[in-house]
Amino acid sequence: MFITFEGIDGSGKSTQARLLAGKLEALGREVVLTREPGGSPGAEEIRALLVEGDPDRWSAETEILLFTAARRDHLERRIAPALKAGQIVISDRFADSTRVYQGATRGERRAMVDSLHAQMIGTEPDLTMIIDMDPDAALSRGLARDSGEDRFEEFGAAFQHKLRAGFLGLAEEYPERCLVIDGAQGADEVSADVLAAVEARLA
Ligand code: TMP
């Protein structure tokens, strides 16, 4: 089973991915917890190019190519082998992030994202948790972390509002695999909602 977590910056999805991995392991499942951009040594190198530095460092088109290159390496070296071995793969972000961040926020580039995805990736998650959150609250949480990886947060609040709308739009587009979870609740409540959804799917 391939599970992804998606949402705007600061939505709490990384915490939720980690909590879910721990709970599934406690239930005796073999779990691979990974993230994008990154998740394999080569893709982690590409990550640094993407998340650090000036917001105008790359055009949206160049970003699509870099994210897709990182994803292809991650898929070949980490995700596909783990799924083949029967493990549960949990990824903190995957292709839906490219559909929204690069495909729908700075002009309409969704067709370009989709065509590259079809050629180079061709894999969709079985289940996608979209952790939904008020963009202003999420942005201050994200920037407060001061991680040095805030190139996308630097695009500002209007960008985060567009992202949220983009993720909610994807949930409508792919209702069979996407689930919107209310991220404004406490982390434990969110985690309980997530586990219930995954257990229903596993059953
Ligand atoms: P993270 O903060 O969730 O680790 O993600 C790093 C940043 O990269 C985040 O601001 C979202 C952005 N991103 C994209 O723009 N497109 C993508 O395809 C992915 C995976 C991430």
Q: Does residue 101's CB lie within 6 angstroms of at least one atom of ligand 1?
A: yes
* C-alpha Rg value of the chain to the nearest Å: 16
pLDDT at 171: 97
155 vs 55: CA distance, rounded Å:
7
The pLDDT profile of the chain, 203 residues, written as one tens digit per residue, is 999 999 999 899 999 999 999 999 999 999 999 999 999 999 999 999 999 989 899 999 999 999 999 999 999 999 999 999 999 999 999 999 999 999 988 778 999 999 999 999 999 999 999 999 999 988 877 777 778 888 888 888 898 999 999 999 999 999 999 999 999 999 999 999 999 999 998 88
Measured from the CA of 95, which atom of ligand 1 is nearest?
A: 18
pLDDT at 8: 93
Q: Does residue 167's CB lie within 6 angstroms of at least one atom of ligand 1?
A: no
Report whether 51 contacts 70 (CB < 8 A): no
The residues near 163 (Cβ < 8 Å, ≥ 6 apart) are 8, 9, 100, 101, 105, 135
Domain boundaries, the chain: 2-202
Give the class (CATH, top level) of 2-202: alpha beta
Say which DSSP state 2 is in.
E
Q: Does residue 10's CB lie within 6 angstroms of at least one atom of ligand 1?
A: no
pLDDT at 135: 92
